[in-house]
Amino acid sequence: PPPSTPLGRLDTALDTPTRPPRVSTPDSKKFAAILLESNPVELQRQLLISTVQNQVLSSQLRRAAAHRTLLLEKLERARDQNEDLKFRLEEKSIEVEGAKARLRQIEKNQKSCDSIERSRDHSSMRDMEPLHIPDEGDDEPRISETPRVKPSRIPRHTAHKGTAPRPPARSPA
Identity of the residue numbered 116: I
Decide if pLDDT at 110 tops 80. Answer: yes
Query: What pLDDT does 8 receive?
Result: 74
List Cβ neighbours of 3 (8 Å cut-off, separation of 6 or more). Answer: 9
Phi/psi for 88 (5° steps) reads: -60, -40
Mean pLDDT of 75-103: 97
pLDDT band with cut points at 50, 70 and 90 for residue 89: very high
More confident residue, 167 or 1: 167
Q: What is the C-alpha separation between 102 and 166, in angstroms, rounded?
A: 29
Nearest to 160 by CA among 128, 134, 123, 135: 123
Mean pLDDT of 60-71: 98
Decide if pLDDT at 20 tops 90. Answer: no
